[in-house]
Structures are given as structure tokens and as C-alpha cells.
Structure 1
């Protein structure tokens, strides 16, 4: 049971200053998605937001968070509960489905909530108060995902004592976020007077308050400096020193009124630890060569000496920027050589504790180019694997040319960064340059022979990937095998990337057992070598193979385990989440096949975002393939064909830049032509499908199946049977259950077309058995209506068991809805856009008088999905109600 008091907006303190001028910053705007109010305790964050939300006309959902909400399921229960308490329709269904999701599937619940929010276009404001109490990385990632895909009429307002672990910089670049930081909470003259008199307990005349406000320009931190200047705050006659804001006046003030008044040990601690923007006890110990820094940090917090916590555990801090500037000036003046030593110690600690990017930022600030080159040589590959290939390229560009000359390892870092950025053309000359350097070293008897061997292996590995992009499979395989022979003699971690290349080769050749073995090795070595990109890619392709072999549960487990490892070790909320197209595509396919469309769409959304931002052509093809497949299963053949035709075009146009053969979009495109009754395009496809034969055995088989489908439609079942009989044996031999099920289904269709019904049903029962064992469902539902009708008449469909019961229900639903007149055969020519198959099904059920919830049960989908179909249906029919929809449907011949 939820505590409804958490949904109550706090009552506004009558004494609180009304911050009307800040309310405009919080008001909804066309592009804005987030309000972020960040300030220490007592800055009036909750009061400000409470005052603002009280003046809104739309729905306001308020949630006061506490420490007990720090688990994903409870957090989203309360978020959904707050929206439900505010009267948002559709949240009851989302709340009910929340309990059915596993922890690793919580993205499905978030996607369902997003869908519910799209049901209305009225303004909605969701306030999450005290977000700093939520530290769970999973919740932070899910909240980032939620905000990434919010509909435009929803605004989320967050209050926190520290900046939350969310991709704030990315949102700021996109102008999604409105910040109110402590400096924005600066007071007006009246607020300044209130601050000193009531909060700081310093009695001021109106003239004094006016002068302080003018000098500080309402900046709260400057007022705090004034209040801490040592005056007797109890005396009503005491007046703070007037203060010029910025530059030397602030510095002199810090020196004279704060720093020089501290005990010697505090003074030295402040000056020594100003050399780094962020500070922890351990880092401060390393800088100072001491063991007592945490105690000093706690003393500074107690004394309010401008040390700002960066988390809720008092582990990380920063000094106020102006305060730190003054401390650095003191350090440079007092002992510049010591400051340099302290800066070097800080960088060394950051590197040792894997804060590499922060260390690089400090090195660049210090303009220590030799050290930057060395750090990039040592850490560049791991940064690239972590998804930071573009920053690595930028850092390399900052290096003077004379630093880069004759440093082959640095050149290899540039090569890998270019490779991951899909900039292949500059790589070849760089490879030659590295080879020339290594040859000269050999000629000069350079002492680093092992390093030269390792670099030669890296060169071979890069050349193997380039060979794959040029369809030179033999060279790619030879180079990979060459690296494998030498790999144990080098110290450079190359095994994961090498085995991934080997897995790609075996996958392309159709040797799935060998591919799985190589990819499994790549995942294991990638975890040891701490290469998250390789782990994701290898694990994703491994799961793709497992899925296509019918091992759905194992594929899902592979995805879950790999994702968990990457998130546990490499999740950075300030950077986009690492995405593997193979892995997300596999999850889309798994959930599509299980008829769990919301989860499929939840995994597709990041891929579409990836697509918009521009991705390499191989990934582009995969994304469009699974996007088209999902649309096909939903009966949206127009959008399916658009995605698949784009996939085909990119695969042809950019073939030389794709290091593997993508999935067979052409085979699915042929099915779309048949489903849309475009026999002309299907016939043209059949005439041309073997002109550019596929090199992938799996793609060849899928294309051959689609060719058989078209032959059946054209009245040539004998030719189809001849090809399908060969494919049955091949699919059995390869242990590819998904391929075998599809072959059996199409073969049954061909036999039924020849009048051999009993033989057809025998094949269908074999397909049922494999489907029940593997958990495939959608593959049966995607077949044409005549074959689905035959499935229902096949005795084996009555086999007891949950899978058979669900399949029967889905088939009966499909057959029942298919009796409604089709919207694709001319009846809806008067419509701007034809109805999809799912929309026709919904229309037929509306005609039966069923409410939304019963329609959802009949269709085995969520109620929010039904509402989305109805909304689309209304739009296409140009109506606003059920009665109008039914009248219009009859008018155009749909009913």
C-alpha cells in the first residue's frame, strides 16, 4: 500500500519570501522537459517549487521522496501513484503491469508509463522532491531513459541538494533543461534584507541592506562571505564590511577575512588541496602525503568554509569556484614549485583510481603535453572501448606535432579511435606510418622488441576488420589467425577484440557453433581486459545467434548478464549509455517474438535515437531490420516496407563500410509485399533475388524461404516444395530452431496449396513442438490467414500446456479479426491513410461493443496499447468518438 501523504504538496510557509521572479524559469516551455533546482539544505528549493506549482492550471503530480524509495520497483510505484493521484488516465493499468516485470525488465514499465502519458495532450507537471535521496544507479538510469522519451506536454521538476547522476550536460545541449542553481537563487534587495535579518540574525538598516545588495548583486555566496566576516552578529549596531564582487576584491577578502584567520593547519590544508577541482579524503591524502584529510574535510563542512558536497555520503567535495581561485593564487605566490608537485600527485592519484578523463582535463589545463601523450598511450584504448573515441581524437589533436612523431603506440590509439568513429579512409596511411616506424626500430635493434610484436599484432587486427569491410573474407580470416598465433606472447590486451573478429567470421560463414565459442571467449576476455564495447558487441551477437537458434531464454540471460556487468563497471550518468546494436536488436526480436510489444518498443527506442544521431552503416541496417520486423508483426506494412527498403539501400550503397553481412532485410521485404497484396512487387523480387547472392548461409536460406512463399502465391507450390524439402534437412543439421519452424510453416502452406492437407498438418505439428520447446509465438501469428486457419484445425494444436493455450487464443483472435473487411484492398481508399491490421482488429472489436479493457484481453495487449490504436484509428477516420468511428467505417466499407 502506498503512503498517500507522499503525494501531498507541502504547505507554503507564510513567512517565506515569494519568489515570483523565479517562477517564470520553471514554467513549461515548448522544448523544455526538466526543471532542475539544486542547492544545499535551507535554500528554499521545496518552497520555491511548491509556490510555483500552486499557480499552474494543468495537472500537478507531487512526490516527496525518502530513503526508503531507493529501489527501482518502489520508486516507480510511487511515481506512477503520484500521477494516478493527480488524475492521469491509464496509470492504473501501468501500476498493475509493474508487478509482472523482473528487475532487469523495469524499462518495460517505464515505457508503459511513457505510453500512458501520451494518451492526453493536456499539460502535466511531475515534481520529484529531494531526489538526492535516490542513489540507486538503476533508478538513475531508468529516470534518464524516462525523461529522454517524454512527450512534449510533460515537464519533470527535480529538487536536490546535489546534481543528480543524470545526463544533464546532454540535456542542456538539447535545451531540454532549465536550471536553478544556488547562484540563480540570488536575492532581490528585499530578499537580501530578509536574509540578513531573519536567517543570519544580523540587524541592518534599509540603507545598509541596499548597499550590500548593490555590491553583491544579490549573490547568496557573497552575502555569506559578508556574514562570516567576523562582525558581532548579535549587535544591532554591527554592519558588515562593504564588498566589491569579483576579481581581486574577493581574493583580498578571502585572504584577509577568512584564510588568514584560520589556524595554520586549516590554512595549509585549504591551500594544498586547491590544486584539483574535485576532492575526496583519499585524494587529499595523496596530495598532502597524509592520512587525516577526511577529518579536515568534515571540519570544513562544519565551519561552512565554502566546501560543497557533491554526493550524499560526504565522500566527494568541491570548493566554491571563487574561493578556490583565491586559494590557488595564494599557492602560486607562496611556493609555485610545491603547487606543481601537488598537481602532479593529484593527476597520479586520479589515474591510479581510474578517473582518467578527469586526470586528462587537469593535464590539459597544466599544458603538460608529454604527460598527456603518455596517458593516452596507456589508457587510450580503454577510453575508446568505453565509448569515448571522439574525445580521444580531440585530445590527440591538442598535442603538438613534435610530441606525436615516432610514437607508434600513440598512432595506434588514433587508428582505433578513427575505427570506432567509422572514419576508415584515414586509417590506411596511418597503418603504413606505424609499420615504417617499427621497421626502422627493428633495423636499429630497438630494445622494445615485445612492444613491436604487439603493435604488429594490432596492425594485423585492424587490417582484418578493414578486410571484412571490403568483403575480403580470406584476408580477414588469415590476419585474425595470425594474431591468434602470436597473441599469448604480447602484453597488450587484444584477445577480446580478436575473438570478436573471429566470431564475426564464423557467423558470416554460417558456422554458428564456432561463432558462439569465439564470442563467448570474447566476452570473457573483454571482462578481464575491461573492454565494455567489445563485451557488449560480442555478447549481443552471441545472444542474436542464440535467439535465432531458438534458445530464447539463454539469449535473454546473455543480454541481461552482459548489460549488468557493463552497467556495474562503466555506467557514467553524464554520458550516453553504451548501446550495442546487436544486443538491443536481439531484445527487440525476443520480446516481439513473445508478443510483448511494450518491452520490444522499449528496447527499440534507444536504437532509433542512435539512428537519428548517425551511426555506422552496418548498425543502421540492423536497426532498420528489427524496426521493420516489429512493424510487420503489428500489421503496419507501410512503415515496415519503408524501414526495410532503407536497410536494403544502405546495405547496397555502403557495403564497403560494413564489417559483416547484415540480416536479410530483403527476405522480410518480400513478405511485406505479399502481406500488402502487392503481387507485382513480389513477382519482381522473385525474378531478381539471386542476381546478387548473399554470402551468409542464413541469409541465403531466409531469401529462399521468401522465394518459396511467392511461388505459392503465384500458384507454383511444386517448385516451392522442391526448395523447401532441401531446407528442412539443412535447418535440422544446423540446429537452427527458428529457421526450422519457418521452413516447416511455409512447407505446410505449399502442401496445403497442393491439397495434401494431412501432410501439411503433420508438418505443422512438428513446428508446434519446436515452438513450444523454444517459446516462439509470433512466428506463427505472422503467417497468412489461410495457414493460421489450418493451424487451428490441426489436431496437435489441442495439446495441453500453457504455450499451446496461448497460441490457440492468439490464432483465434487473429482469425476472428481477419473476418472484418480488410483496409488494404480498396475499401478505405477514401481515407488519408489506410488502417493497419491491428487497427482493423480494434475496429471490429469496437463494433462488437467491447470496452477497452476487454479489447486488451481479447488481443493479449496492454490497455494503453489499445488506447494508442484507437487514437490512431480516430485520426485516420477523421472522427472523435466511437459512434462517429463506426459510422465512418460503414461509410467507407470497412464494416
Structure 2
């Protein structure tokens, strides 16, 4: 019996069928559903498919609309020119009958060459329906295999929508083909969900390639490529929003774009350039219809009712599902339901969970469709679902979900009590982001009713570095804390002191010293630990280094939830960091290094709960390593960590980090990167209004400008530094003294460079005495070396020798290297001449050898003005630095970040930081918008560089 003519049946055809043979059956699905997918080349997947063309079996599984057929069709087009024939059979629900399946399969193969199925067609398929012959399938398969084996070319047999073929006899026939296929037959199976075929033997022989739904998802870049092809230029933020909402689902993106175009046309507005984020997904009726047809229609009423309730939760497991439908005994059936939905690719997939059960989540867009149904339920039913969810999550210890459902079930008091109960545990475990999420779920009225939650809010604002909001919260809660509530008064004081530390306000913190020392008996461990560490920082800033160490080392161990308080800013690891910082500021680098290394190692083992201590240890250790002449390791230690340090480190640590990076890059000959790090430090200081940090940045920039011979730039920096100093000149408080020290050092450097040697010497003598009185031994050693160099210039050799020896002895005692080597360009020469002129004692002689062996920065060429006339800067560009203008020019040339970094001599991380500043100034979300804005302003980014330099 010959195969039935294909024209009598409807089935989905492969898109973009090539013209190498008769076309498969006509498509029933509308062509528009596949439109636009071809614009994404699938470069990740197609080359792997082409390379696997000679394997026995290729399997592509994924949910409806994931691009299975389109991918296989693209593969077909790629392999036909390579000498392959392709037969394509697209199954429908009607093909589940064995005889009908055989007819359709033979018809598809016959389009390649009728001779391939001649014998099989003669045997016919009528007996299969009647089940008259138990061996009929095997004889048909054998005849088909013989026909294909005799074919002179390789044949790829594509069976699309295999999930429609569920009859055991069909599975047996396909298994027979897989197990006994001739070398020139290659099967390609595309389906939703896993199929009842055994591939284990082929897998063991490396004869399979398998793609699943996760492989088929668009990446973020592919999503952007698709959206741009559909709608033209689209901003990066919108691309990311749609990518996350669609989860990379191809059909979802198609529906989004089609629905958006339709709405824009109906409104009489162009579709391009509008943000998708403004379109509520529940307004897209196309999604509802799609999921009704492809998912919900395949569920029983009870299963659908379960999924509607499950949609109220962001994730689910079997026991939770059973609780939501108020049937705890149904856990086993829920386990089977979730496993089946996942197996059949019905937009339900496994996710990582916090209990031993298997956890799942609904596809975001399927969940939106189900939430629309959930919203249609009566209020009592919805509340009951949230109440059950709250009880289940609370019992499981999953507090974030528990609080969310408590609020939605109308129990904000229960939610607030739960947040208060778990807050300290979450903080100690390093789950502060989770705690912030809990607080944000509580109604503002609920938070404002009590003191504890408001103090907790202030603590989290401090963690997020929102210092203005934190101060505002503390000011608002202070009048509501009764004087006799000593515990909460103590929390309020400790938080104000921590806020002062983050604001680099030593004097503000010192003003609270009496209250900090008066610890109430019922104070909690977190507040006591934080108080101890704040005291250590205060004493260190005052130069009382031994007291700073003792307050930490003598403190009794603190416990939270029965475990030692190691993590967070209040933990003992952070306290040990502050002990190390006291040694570093005193100049005792060897002791500091040991402490920082030990803390970093222990904190790394502790994971995210110890992140604060780890990053602070890393930042402070980098300063020590540079001082000990290991600039390369200092840079490597900080690589990729600046963003995190910016978020969690105290100003003291960041000050050291950026100064170290600048010095290390300068030593390595990367002048541009050195200046970039100091500019980044300057921006940080100005953002947070930290004048002490700003002074150090300006002083270091001035120093480097003098080394490159840029006197005018150095003088401009000194004027800014003097202005900072003037703001604090009349103050008798502690912190302005350090600004004064930095300013004096800048004046000394400029005077020395300009030839005012006597003036520099006089200022140096005064500054050395001030630093000596404050116990800053590291600074004293550095200044003595500088003073020795100036005395040598003045011809006062005896004084120069005396100061040089003094600096060397101090440096040796403290373990300093770079402080002496970097003190003056002539330092190395002076030490060399000293060793030649006299015999030093062996210990000092060995120390000098180490200093002379220290790496010297590459000679920096003096800056010379460029020839040519400097033009006028466009008004809009005046907000940008010269470096940012250079970066804009390279952006306009479509240069990626790595090439920009190479072109400007910067690290990729620094380029990323500059770009974030540029985007902020342009008020754009990303690269494409930035380039478009440049063009809108009419800036000529290809013009010579001098055209953008200000006079």
C-alpha cells in the first residue's frame, strides 16, 4: 500500500525549507509565529549541531515556542551543501496511530528519493492498525533500513514534535531505528519534554548530542539582538528587563514585540524607542491565549486549581503545594505533578532550594497568566492561600517568603514580629540583603509603630551606605526612645557612632565616647561588638595605638544564637582587622601583615557572612604589601574587588586601597592608571563629603604632577587643597589636623620643586615635630628621609647624614621600605653614597641593601604642551574630564571596553568605572544611548584631541 498523499493532512512544516527536494507538508501554524527568529543566528548552538551531523542521534527538547524547529531548520540549511539529504516529518496529535505515523514517515522520506521506501511501501501499513502481524513493525523497519543503507548519501531524518507520538508501538519502531540504523542514517528528534526512548547505549558510545530548554533560551546578548531587529534601537535596561521577564523564551519575546507594536499603532505612536517596562504583562492577551492553548488546556481542573494557588508563591515544592490546597496528605501526588510538568517542558523548572525537597518555579510569564486567575478569586480564598503559605514558610524557617505572605494575608503584626525575631540571625549569617528585603515588605505604618524596627532600618541604611537616610531615621526615632530604655538608647548611640565612622567624622564619634563606654547590662551582642570596634577605631585615630589594641583583645567573647560573633562589622574578625590597622598606622608593618593575612584566611573560610572582615583585611593588607615592596601582589590582591570594597569598606580602608593602586601603577609605569585611581578616590570623597580623603587624593595627584613636570596642574591642585584646609583651619577638632598635614606636605613638595629649599626645610622641621608628637612613626621616617635630601641640597652634609641614619633606623625598626624609597628621588643615591662612605653595622647594612634593591618607578617624562591651537569646548562637555572625553571618542568608534583599556593604558575595571560616571552625566542607561546622546548634541568625537581642551 503506497503512502497516503501528504496534501490530505495538515502538519507543521520546517521553517525556511531549502529547495533541495520536495517540500514537506504544509504548515498549519501561522507564519508570523516564527517571524524574526532568523535574525538571531544561534552562533552558540548551530556550529555544535553542524559538527555533530554524523552522530547517530541529535535530540532537541524544550517548551513550546523555544525555537526547536527553527534551530533544526537552520541546521538543515547548513548541512545540505555538505552532501546530506534531509527528510522532515512533523508529527501531529493524529499521528499517534501507528499506521498513520508510518504513512507520514514514509511519505517524508520518499520526498528525498522514492527508492528509499520502495520496499517498505510495498509491505504497507494496513496490518499495523489491525494488529494482524506482531512482526509487521520489525519487517517495515528492516526494509526501511535496507533502503537507506543502499542510498549513496547521508540521510538526516528529522522527526519534529515527537511528543505527539505516545503509542508504545511507535516508540518501539523508533527504538529499532536508533539501535540498528546504518552508518549513513542520522536521526534528529525535536520534542517537548523527555521521551520514552533509550539513548544510554548511544550516549556511552558518544553518538548523541542533546540540547534542552536551558540551551535553547536566548542569552542576554541574543535577546538584545532579537529586540533590536524587531524594534530598532532599544536601551540596555529595557533589554535586560525583557530578558529576565521572558527568561530568554523565544516565543515570549515574539509575543512581547508583536503586542507592543499593536498597542503603539492603536495609540497612533511609533513603537520604536519606547520602554517595554511600562507595559503590564497581564495586559498582553496573547500570553494568556498561548498558555491556555499550550499548557493550561493539558491540565485537569484540580491540577489547574493547584497551579493558580502555587502562582501566589515565587517558588514551590511538593509539601508547599499540598499546604496551599489545604491537603497536607497530598504531598506524594504533588511530587508527581511537579515532576511531570517539568518532564513535559510545561514551563515549570527546578531551582535551588533551602530544604531537602526538590524546588520548582513557574516561568515568569506563565506565573503572570496564573496570577491573573488568582486575582479573580474571592478575597477570602486569596487570604486563605497566603495564610497557609505564611504558616508553611515560617515553619520551614524561610523568613523572607513568610513575611511576604503574612503581609498579604492581612497579618502585618505577625510579619513585623517575625522580622524582629530573625533580624540578628540574618545579620550574623551575612544575609543583610535578605533582611533589607523583609523590611521593605512591611507596611511603613507597621515599621513606624515601634522603635526596634526603625533602629533596624537605620542599621540597614548604614549597611547600604545611605548615610543621609540613616541620619534622618536616627533623628526621627531618637525622641521616641524613652530615657529609661537603656538598651535601645545604647543601640541609638552605637549607630550614631558607626554613622560617624562611615562619614569619617572622628570628632562626631568622640563626642559619643562617654555613652559608648557606659554599656547597659541588657545590651545585645551585635551592639556591644560594634561599640568595641568603634572604640578601637577612635583610639587609633587619636594615635593611642596600644589602647586601640587592648580594647579589642581584652573584650570577652560575644555569642549570637549560641555561636561566637565572628562576622559582620561587630564581630571579632573585624576587631582583629582594626588591631592590624593600629599597627599599620603606627608603622609596624610586620605585625600588621600577619594579622591581616590570618583574618583574610579565616574570613574566606567563613563565606559571605564574613565578607566585611575579608574585604577590609584585603584592603588593609594591600597597603602593607606595597610598603613591603610587593606592589605586584598588592595590585593582584585588589583585582576585581573594588566594587565590593566601595560598597562595604570604611573610608580609612578605601583611602589606603586607592592610594596603593595609584602608587603601584605608577611604579609599574602605568601613569594613566595611577591618575585614574586617584581621580576615583577624589570622586568617592566628593560624593560622600569626606574632606580628609579628598585632601589625600589632591595631595597625591599634586605629587605625581610634579614628578611629570606639570607645574601649572600642580599649582591648581594646591589651590584646591588649600581651600579644603581653609574650611577647617579654625577648628580645634582632631580630623582637620590630618588635612593640615597633607597640605603642609604639598607645600613642601612644591617649594622644593620650585627651588625654595630653605622654605621647604623650615616647613619640614615643623611638620616632623607635629607627627612625632602624634605617634605617626611611619610618616616621621618618610619625612626624615625627605629632610635629609633637602639638607644635602643645602650643603649641610652632617645634618643630612644624621637624618638619613635616623630615618634608616626608624624604618628598619618598623619594617618600612617604600616609605623611604619613595620619599625623594635622591633617596636611593644618598643611601648608596652612605654605604660607600662608611661601614654600617651588619643589621643596618643589610636593611640598606634591601632598600637599594627595591624596584624604582620608571622615569616619567615631563609633560610638554602640544603644538596647535586649542579650540573651544562645547558647553555640554564642560562637565566631563579630559579622560572622559577621550573615552567618549572611543565609545563613538564602537570600541569594546578591553580595547579602550589598551588604548588609554587603563585597566578594564577602571574603564568600567569611568563609563558609569559618563552614563550618569549623560543620564543614559548604557553604551548605545551614550553614543546616541553624543550625536544628538552634535559633538565631533573624531575631532583632534586639542579641540576639547580647556584653556
Interval containing the TM-score (normalised by the shorter chain): 0.5 to 0.7
- The structure-2 alpha-carbon separation of the partners of 1:679 and 1:405, relative to structure 1 and needing over 3 Å to count, comes to closer
**Equivalent residue for 2:69?**
188
Residue 674 (structure 1) aligned with residue 674 (structure 2) = no
The 2-side partners of 1:298 and 1:194 are apart by: 32
Change (3 A) 1:304 1:544: same
Residue 344 of structure 1 aligns with which residue?
390
* 8 A Cα contact 1:364 1:372, kept in partner: yes
Hey, what does 1:410 align to over in structure 2?
453
1:600 alignment counterpart: 634
Q: Quick one: distance in 1 between partners of 2:355 and 2:105?
A: 35
Alignment of 1:318 with 2:364, yes or no, is no
Q: 2:781 aligns with which of 741, 747, 771?
A: 741
Post-superposition shift, 1:807?
3.7
Pairing partner for 2:443 from 400, 407, 426: 400
In 2, distance between residues paired with 1:807 and 1:295?
75
- Tell whether the 8 Å contact from 1:591 to 1:597 is kept in structure 2 after alignment: yes
1:205 pairs with 2:101: yes
2:861 to 791, 808, 823: 823
Change (3 A) 1:749 1:292: farther
> Contact between 2:62 and 2:192, CA under 8 Å: does it hold in 1?
no
Question: Is 1:501 equivalent to 2:534 in the alignment?
Answer: yes
Q: Deviations over 1:560-616 (max 9, x none)?
A: 4444555544539xxx97698754542442343344444433444546546999999
- Give the equivalent residue in structure 2 for 1:664: 696
The separation in 2 between residues aligned to 1:633 and 1:245, in whole angstroms, is 62
**2:291 corresponding residue in structure 1:** 246
Is residue 550–residue 737 contact of structure 1 (8 Å, CA) maintained in 2? Answer: yes
Aligned with 1:319: secondary structure?
strand
> Where does structure 1 lack aligned partners over 5 or more consecutive residues?
1-19, 28-34, 36-46, 56-160, 162-179, 211-221, 261-266, 443-448, 834-867, 874-895
Change (3 A) 1:474 1:728: closer
The residue number in structure 1 matching 2:185 is: none
Q: What is aligned with 2:586? A: 549
For the pair 1:477 / 2:510, whether they are aligned, the reply is yes
- In the alignment, the residues of structure 2 paired with residue 583 and residue 663 of structure 1 have an alpha-carbon distance, to the nearest angstrom, of 24
5+ long unaligned stretches in structure 2: 1-35, 54-59, 74-87, 107-159, 176-190, 194-288, 871-900, 907-951
Measured against aligned partners, the alpha-carbon deviations of 1:460-513 in whole angstroms (never above 9, x if no partner) come to: 223334566888756633434314423432336302222233233223323233
Q: Which residue among 547, 561, 571 is the counterpart of 2:608?
A: 571
- 1:796-811 equivalence runs, <5 A: 807-810=851-854
How has the CA–CA distance of structure 1 residues 226 and 520 changed in structure 2, closer, same or farther, with 3 Å as cutoff?
A: farther
**Contact 2:612-2:649 within 8 A present in 1 as well:** no
Contact preservation (8 Å) 1:282, 1:293: yes
Give the drift of 1:788. Answer: 1.9
Q: How does 1:519-538 map to 2 (within 5 A)?
A: 528-529=564-565, 531-534=567-570
Distance 2:489 2:417 in 1: 20
- Deviation track 1:286-340 (CA, whole Å, cap 9, x = no partner) reads 999999999997999799867965569995632363799899999x99x999966
Structure 1 residue 742: deviation in Å?
0.8
**SS at the partner of 1:205?**
helix
Alignment correspondent of 2:48: 50
Distance 2:330 2:526 in 1: 38
Shift of 1:411: 1.8
Alignment of 1:597-746 (within 5 A): 597-606=631-640, 608-609=642-643, 624-634=658-668, 640=674, 644=678, 647=681, 651=685, 655=689, 664-678=696-710, 685=718, 688=722, 691=726, 692-693=728-729, 695-696=734-735, 700-701=740-741, 703-713=743-753, 715=755, 736-746=776-786
Check the 8 A contact 2:503/2:651 in 1, yes or no: no
Alignment deviations for residues 700-720 of structure 1 (CA, whole Å, 9 cap, x no partner) = 555555554445445555565
- How far, CA to CA, are the matches of 1:23 and 1:604 in structure 2? 41
Structure 2 Cα separation of the partners of residues 542 and 195 of structure 1: 72
SS of alignment partner, residue 188 of structure 1: helix
The superposition leaves residues 224-282 of structure 1 with CA deviations (integer Å, 9 ceiling, x where unpaired) of 9767x7866546699x999x9634874563448x979xxxxxx99x9999996657899
Counterpart of 2:85 in structure 1 is none
Candidates 473, 494, 513, aligned match of 1:461: 494
Contact 1:278 1:317 in 2 (8 A): no
User: Cα offset for 1:188?
Assistant: 1.0
Instruction: Give the Cα separation in 1 of the matches to 2:445 and 2:501.
Output: 34
TM-score (norm 2): 0.51
**TM-score scaled by length of structure 1:** 0.54
1:824 positional shift: 0.4
Partner of 1:126: none
Quote the residue 1:794 is aligned against.
834
* C-alpha separation in 1, matches of 2:652 and 2:825: 34
Cα deviations by residue, 1:206-225 (Å, 9 ceiling, x for unpaired): 99899xxxxxxxxxxx9797
Which residue in 2 is equivalent to 1:755? 795
The corresponding residue for 1:59 is: none
CA RMSD of aligned residues (A): 6.4
Task: Give the number of the structure whose alpha-carbon radius of gyration is greater.
Answer: 2
CA contact (8 A) 1:510 1:698 kept: no
SS in 1 for 2:861: coil
Per-residue CA shift, 1:746-769, capped at 9, x if unaligned? 132133223344553454455445
